[in-house]
Chains A and B, each alone.
Chain A
């Protein structure tokens, strides 16, 4: 069984990306279990003086442990100002500072939903770069850019309504399962 965790880049309750993330356990292929990682909303803003005085905050350790234990990681993220949302980047910044940082060698897949037409392409290419630095293994294809997401996701029911999107996501998860099997997971 491949155990995959998901991290949402938006903190707001009604987030489109959270709706997509919540759909993933039901869309996973056989042999893959998906669940949400511990939360990132309570991380303090990164400051090396904190880590050098009181140590790494507990929520940071919890996320790092979950990443270490997982076979793969999926980011479900919006795009803020052509880049990675601050909550997500701040979480990555913290976790990256741990000894034996947990992203090394970790299979990663990316998904983004956006009300605009570009679907989050900029955030994903930015995130790929950070993942290269952290020596993660990011799945290349299929890419999941859910553009015009308000037409594809029902905020009221919290469900993806567009069948084509659901189909693409299923395809990516199948590819991710193969990728995890090929690249190994635990760090």
Chain B
């Protein structure tokens, strides 16, 4: 591991065990280029549903702080999420809503790349464009192309193990990760 290796965290927008998006998220450490170490961010599933009254005294729930710290410390964030009702799943939005309330918002000027898997043809596109809108409000630096929309996921993941088996998908994800590393180095000034 070089001193100049980037540290990137992955956030998954789905909680269910057999999630395609969770499976894709798990592949990323192995698909990442050598200059970029990728690992999972802490989970968001035990965060309470956002309510300003819960932090009116200035104290945030421990898991919110942990998640925020992990994002803040990372050189970049990859969000892998399904699309619920044409937009961002409520649980993922909940985590973002919470950390957006810190004085130092961890997404500020943070490089972020997006990926989504879906059962249908659009591959989560509507969700990603909303997420771009949401991340813009908290001043993240959102990576452009290639975009990763994994459509008709049932055909691309193993029926039993839910492992990603589709080679074109694997190839384009690798391409995005290479591009994301370059993007992070450019915007962070770490060449």
Enumerate chain A interface residues (CB-CB to B < 8 A).
10-14, 40-41, 43, 45-49, 80-93, 96, 122, 126, 129-130, 132-134
Nearest opposing residue in chain A for B135, CB measure: A81
Enumerate chain B interface residues (CB-CB to A < 8 A).
14-17, 44-45, 47, 49-53, 56, 84-91, 93-97, 100, 126, 130, 133-134, 136-138
Known contacts A45-B45, A45-B94, A81-B137; is-contact A93 B89 (Cβ 8 Å):
yes
Set of chain A residues within 8 Å of B17, measured between Cβ atoms: 49
Set of chain B residues within 8 Å of A45, measured between Cβ atoms: 15, 44-45, 47, 49, 90-91, 94
Nearest opposing residue in chain B for A103, CB measure: B85
- Separation of A12 and B56 alpha carbons in the complex (Å): 10
- Separation of A48 and B14 alpha carbons in the complex (Å): 9
Known contacts A45-B49, A45-B91, A49-B17; is-contact A83 B86 (Cβ 8 Å):
no
Contact A81 B138 (CB under 8 A): yes
Contact A82 B136 (CB under 8 A): yes
Nearest opposing residue in chain A for B15, CB measure: A47
- Separation of A122 and B137 alpha carbons in the complex (Å): 11
Contact A92 B90 (CB under 8 A): yes
Contact B100 A130 (CB under 8 A): no
| Residue of B16, B45, B50, B137 with most chain A CB atoms under a 10 A cut-off | B50
Tell me the minimal C-beta distance from B153 to chain A in angstroms. Answer: 14
Tell me the minimal C-beta distance from A10 to chain B in angstroms. Answer: 8
Known contacts A49-B16, A80-B97, A126-B130; is-contact A85 B85 (Cβ 8 Å):
no
Contact B90 A46 (CB under 8 A): yes
Query: Can you pick out 19 interface pairs between chain A and chain B where the beta carbons lie within 8 Å of each other?
Result: A11-B51, A11-B52, A12-B56, A41-B49, A45-B49, A45-B90, A47-B45, A47-B91, A49-B15, A83-B88, A83-B130, A86-B49, A86-B50, A86-B91, A87-B51, A90-B90, A91-B90, A93-B91, A126-B87
Contact B84 A129 (CB under 8 A): no
- Interface residue from A46, A82, A96, A129 paired with B15 (Cβ < 8 Å): A46
- Separation of A131 and B48 alpha carbons in the complex (Å): 25
| Residue of A10, A12, A41, A96 with most chain B CB atoms under a 10 A cut-off | A12
Nearest opposing residue in chain A for B107, CB measure: A81
Contact B136 A48 (CB under 8 A): no
- Separation of A14 and B90 alpha carbons in the complex (Å): 22
Contact A12 B16 (CB under 8 A): no
- Separation of A80 and B90 alpha carbons in the complex (Å): 12
Give the 7 A-B residue pairs with the shortest CB-CB distance, closest first: A90-B90, A86-B94, A89-B90, A11-B51, A47-B15, A82-B137, A45-B91
